[in-house]
Amino acid sequence: MKNVYFIGIGGIGMSALARYYKFKGFEVAGYDRTPSELTAQLEKEGISVHYEDRPDLIPVDKDNTLVVYTPAVPSDLGEMRKVTEEGYAVLKRSRTLGEITRGQRCIAVSGTHGKTTTSTLIAHILTETGEGCSAFLGGISRNYGTNLLMSKNETVVAEADEFDRSFLQLFPEIAIVTAVDADHLDIYGDYAHVVEAFKSFVSQVSGTVIAKKGTPISAEDTKARLLSYHYTDTEADFCALNPKADGLGLFHYDLKWPGGIIKDIKVGAPGWVNAENSIAAAAACLVYGLEPEAVKAAIGTFEGVKRRLELHVNSPSLSYIDDYAHHPKELKSAISSIRDIFPGRKLTGIFQPHLFTRTRDFAEEFADALSGVDKLILLDIYPAREEPIPGVTSEIIFKDVTAPEKVLIKKEELMDYLSEEPLDVLATFGAGNIDRFVEPITKMLKERL
């Protein structure tokens, strides 16, 4: 193959693969529906991207062209029809990642939340300690400004995505399971099938599975060694002892692990959620064979991931934090972490629901999680790959929210609404296009300081 063509190149996982093939010397191009910061960066790196359905722009040399697509792309897209009807070599994103990682020492991070931060931290520890790794990340690392790391050694860190059962394409040496919650029920149908998929995933691990204590993963599910981790449960194989936050919301703790206790680990990214993710990352790196003190030092220099409890404005009178949380449990954890970082301050949360099916399936749980803010600004549902479902709107969440203040508005009204709003701590949440507001909100709030 000389050419690799991506249909849906702007996705976080797809863009990492595009960068990988560009790094390897292939001619890389692709289509995405909408321009974004990610696609602009790909274009700067010499990758051609277009935003209209243009089958004529697909390389004509089909015998030397690999086409990679994301399942989020509709099957009736003209470009998809062309490559399938004309006999191009076509692979789904997950299969492509599986092919790349095969034959290497793979550390894979699975879970319905926490994957991106944990995998990015593992990649950072391996890089910072000098061991090195290649890494395909589900977010932009703040330490490196990219979602792809490349190394000459044979270790690769990958995010093992449960959507569309993608993670079943991976056969890792070390795997983490951060959470097994009901999600993607449009794919799985019910929670039992979610659990079944995770059990299938851990059955493919050759060395060690590190599962959060309480997840439905047992020794019978895998031929690998099974270890557990937890933030506070001291019966887990890896856990935090004496955790405490400093004035910046950064957590310090002693790590209990099978090799003893590592004293006074400081997590470089704020919030107890990042502290918990750091335990999982440390566990993987210690199992891998890194020295305890080197792991400890690297965790302290971790700056986090864009859109994961990312602070944009921080002053005693006005603060703004952005997070990717789009599942009720993620929202609950993020809101709890923000409360720890900014104790006693008024928290205004803006949430954009992601997917009609997820809103329908978890409306009650979303309402409960969002009731944890002092004021909720709720936006319309971001549809992503879905068609509207009759009767499913943000209203089915909004009506049950018990926060002291709440308002339901369209995203087009958001900036005008915020310009008149007295704010203390503001947080944006969601996996849709709410990230387009981060820059204008930051600019507006900095002008108030």
CB 211 within 8 Å of CB 220: no
Q: Does the pLDDT at position 398 exceed 90? A: yes
pLDDT band at 169 (very low <50, low <70, confident <90, very high): very high
**Residue among 330, 424, 408 nearest 369 (CA):** 330
What was the pLDDT predicted at 71? 85
Looking at domain 3-93, does it have CATH number 3.40.50.720? yes
Q: Does the pLDDT at position 128 exceed 90? A: yes
Q: Where are the domains of the chain?
A: 3-93, 102-300, 310-448
CA distance 97 to 389: 33
Encoding tokens for residue 230? 């937890």
Q: Does the pLDDT at position 331 exceed 90? A: yes
CB 155 within 8 Å of CB 105: yes
What was the pLDDT predicted at 185? 86
**Residue among 217, 208, 215, 223 nearest 172 (CA):** 208
CB 380 within 8 Å of CB 411: yes
Tokens 């599975």, located at residue: 209
pLDDT band at 360 (very low <50, low <70, confident <90, very high): very high
pLDDT band at 408 (very low <50, low <70, confident <90, very high): very high
Task: Report the pLDDT averaged over residues 283-300.
Answer: 98
Task: Report the pLDDT averaged over residues 360-366.
Answer: 97
**What is residue 181's three-state secondary structure?**
coil
CA distance 248 to 251: 9
**What is residue 53's three-state secondary structure?**
coil
Considering the domain 310-448, what is its CATH architecture? Alpha-Beta Complex (3.90)
Determine phi and psi for 352, rounding to 5 degrees.
-110, 110
What was the pLDDT predicted at 257? 98
Buried b (16+ CB within 10 A) or exposed e, 397-422: bbeebebeebebeebeebeeebeeee
What was the pLDDT predicted at 248? 79
The superfamily in CATH containing domain 102-300 is Mur-like, catalytic domain (3.40.1190.10)
The helix/strand count (H/E) of the chain reads as: 14, 21
Task: Report the pLDDT averaged over residues 378-393.
Answer: 94
What was the pLDDT predicted at 299? 98
Render pLDDT for 225-234 as a digit per residue (tens, 0 to 9): 999 999 999 9
Q: Does the pLDDT at position 164 exceed 90? A: no
Which residue(s) pair with 321 in the sheet? 311, 427
Domain 3-93 and domain 102-300 have a common topology:
no
CA distance 160 to 233: 25
In this prediction, what percent of the chain has a pLDDT beyond 70?
Answer: 100
Distances (CA, A) of 128 to 123, 296, 301: 8, 11, 9
How many C-beta neighbours within 10 Å does residue 154 have? 12
| CA 151 to chain CA mean position, Å | 22
pLDDT band at 384 (very low <50, low <70, confident <90, very high): confident
Q: Does the pLDDT at position 241 exceed 90? A: yes
